[in-house]
Structure 1
Amino acid sequence: MIDDEQRPRYWRHTLFLAVGMTAVIVFGAIALPLFAVELNETTLLGFPLGYYIASQGLMIALIVAVYWAGSRQARTDSKFGATEDM
């Protein structure tokens, strides 16, 4: 259970993580496709870079980002005593 005096710090950490992850997802899903034409001038493994990023890179980056955010949130939970006891 989180102490009342630590609760604002806990939620500030959690909010910062959520906003940061949302920014990463928005950048990857919206901003990178805007540069697809310029990225397609470069090739990676024989594919245009814009295509490769859209088909493989964003999926891999999203999986890594979600795993990182989950582990970071778990560390924040344990730091503030918000872990679940089973």
Structure 2
Amino acid sequence: MVELPVPRSGEGPYLQVTDLRVRFDTEDGVVRAVDGVSFSVERGRTLGIVGESGSGKSVTSLAILGLHNAKRATITGEISVGGRQLVG
């Protein structure tokens, strides 16, 4: 895993997602909805996430926003916004 420095105000990516993994325990076993996603977005830039249906786009976005039910989802990796670490 790559160690990233914490950006100072106005320096480095505004959004940093590193090795994001989201898993759901189901009756049929563990579903690995997102498995090792990493990306960064500079302040003032836009990132488009595209993929097939069921590829994890919405699950990734909900993890960044902190909207998954903690009782149902296991989220690992690192998410930081504006230098503030949200997950990890």
More strand by share: 2
Q: Give the number of the structure whose alpha-carbon radius of gyration is greater.
A: 1
Task: Please give the TM-score of this superposition, normalised by the length of structure 2.
Answer: 0.29
